Amino acid sequence: MAPWTVNDQRIPQGRLALISYLSVILVLLLMVGFWKLQVVQSGHFVDLAERNRVRSIPIIAPRGPMLDREGRILVDSYPSFSILLLREDMKAVEKSLPQIEEGLGIGRNDVMDQLDAARNEPKFQPIVIKPAASVADIAFVESHRADLPVLELMMVQRRRYQLGDMLANGIGYVGEVSAHELERSDGHYRPGDIVGKAGLEKQYNDVLEGTDGMRRVVVNSVGKVMRTLDNVEAVPGKPIQLTIDYDLQVAAETAMAGKEGSVVAMDARTGEVLAMVSRPTFDPNDFAVRIQQSQWDKLNNDPETPLLNRAIQAQLAPGSVFKIVMATAMLETKAVPETLTEYCPGYATFYGRMFKCHVYGKGAGHGEVDFHKAIVQSCDVYFYNVGKLLGIDRISKYATGLGLGRRTGIDLPSEESGLVPSEEWAERVLHRKWYAGETISVSVGQGAVTTTPIQLARMIAGVASGGAFVQPHLLKNFPNPRVDHFDLSDATVEKVTQGMYGVVNEGGTAAGARLQNIEFCGKSGSAQVIGYDVRNRLGKQREFKDNAWFVGYAPRRNPEVVVAVLVQGGEHGGAVAGPIARDVVKTYYDKKNARSQEQASNESPAQPGVPRPIAATVGGQHP
Partner 1 sequence: MREGPRIQDFDWTLMAIVCAITGVGVLEIYSSTHASAPMAGLQWRQLMWVGLGIAGMFIISRIDYHTLLDQAPVFYMVGVASLLLVLAIGHSKFGAKRWVGIGGFNLQVSELMKLIIIIVLARYFSEVRTDRLTLTDLLKVAVMTLIPVGLILKQPDLGTAMVLVPVAVVGAFLAGIDWKHALVGVVLLGLLIPLGWNMRRHLKPYQQQRLQTFLHPEEDQRGAGYQILQSEIAVGSGGFWGKGFGKGSQNQLGFVPVRYSDFILAALAEEQGFIGVCVVLLLYLGLILRLVDNAQKAKDRAGVYVVMGVTAILGFHVLVNAAMVIGYVPVTGIPLPLMSYGGSATAFVFLALGLVMNVRMRRFVN
Residues acting as catalytic residues: 320
* Interaction between residue 8 and partner 1 (CB under 8 A): yes
Residue 221 binding partner 1, by CB under 8 A = yes
CB-side exposure of 142: number of CA atoms within 13 Å? 9
# residues near partner 1 by CB under 8 A: 47
- The reply on whether position 155 binds partner 1 by CB under 8 A is no
From the list 25-33, 135-143, 494-502, 562-570, the region that binds partner 1 by CB under 8 A is 25-33
State the maximum Cα–Cα separation within the chain, in Å, rounded to a whole number: 149
Contact 263, 255 (CB under 8 A): yes
Under the binding rule (CB under 8 A), the answer on residue 16 touching partner 1 is: yes
Closer residue to partner 1 (CB): 87 or 130 = 87
Q: Cα–Cα distance between 406 and 418 in angstroms, integer?
A: 6
Burial of 111 (0-12, 13-18, 19+ CB in 10 A): buried
230 is a contact residue toward partner 1 (CB under 8 A) = no
Q: Is 46 in the site for partner 1 (CB under 8 A)?
A: yes
Which of residues 112, 117, 226, 606 is near partner 1 by CB under 8 A? 226
CA-to-CA separations, 618 to 168, 281, 282, 532, 614, in angstroms, rounded: 15, 18, 17, 41, 6
Q: Does 23 bind partner 1 (CB under 8 A)?
A: yes
Measured distance CA(153)–CA(225) in Å, rounded: 12
| Interface with partner 1 in residues 98-127 (CB under 8 A) | 123
Stretch touching partner 1 by CB under 8 A, among 33-41, 249-257, 359-367, 385-393? 33-41
Q: Which stretch binds partner 1 (CB under 8 A): 221-229, 352-360, 362-370, 537-545?
A: 221-229
Burial class (CB in 10 A: 0-12, 13-18, 19+), 425: middle
**Least distance in angstroms from the C-beta of 141 to partner 1:** 23
Measured CA to CA, the distance from residue 192 to residue 121 in angstroms comes to 11
Asked if 9 touches partner 1 (CB under 8 A), the answer is yes
Residue 52 per-residue DSSP state = H
Cβ density class 264-300: b for 16+ within 10 Å, e for less = bbbbbebbbbbbbbbbbbbbbbbbbbebeeeeeeebe
Binding to partner 1 by residue 12, rule CB under 8 A? yes
Tell which one of 27, 112, 429, 594 touches partner 1 (CB under 8 A).
Answer: 27
**Contact between 220 and partner 1 (CB under 8 A)?**
yes
CB of 85 to partner 1, least distance (A): 16
Say whether residue 49 binds partner 1 (CB under 8 A): yes
Question: Can residue 229 be called a binding residue for partner 1 (CB under 8 A)?
Answer: no
Cα torsion through 533, 282, 202, 77, rounded to 10:
-170
Please report how close the Cβ of residue 93 comes to partner 1 at its closest, in angstroms.
12
In sequence order, what are the residues at sequence separation of 6 or more whose Cβ sits closer than 8 angstroms to the Cβ of residue 367?
343, 344
d(CA 387, CA 391): 6
Contact between 42 and partner 1 (CB under 8 A)?
A: yes
Q: Is 44 in the site for partner 1 (CB under 8 A)?
A: yes
Indicate whether 429 belongs to the interface with partner 1 (CB under 8 A): no
Contact 318, 420 (CB under 8 A): no
Closer residue to partner 1, CB minimum distance, 90 or 117: 90
Using CB atoms within 10 A of its CB, is residue 612 exposed (0-12), middle (13-18) or buried (19+)?
middle
Using CB under 8 A, pick the residue from 34, 351, 435, 544 that binds partner 1: 34
CA 216 to chain CA centroid, nearest Å: 36
52 near partner 1 (CB under 8 A): yes
**By the criterion CB under 8 A, which residues form the site for partner 1?**
1-2, 4-5, 7-13, 15-17, 19-20, 23-24, 26-27, 30-31, 33-39, 41-42, 44-46, 48-50, 52-53, 90, 123, 218-222, 226
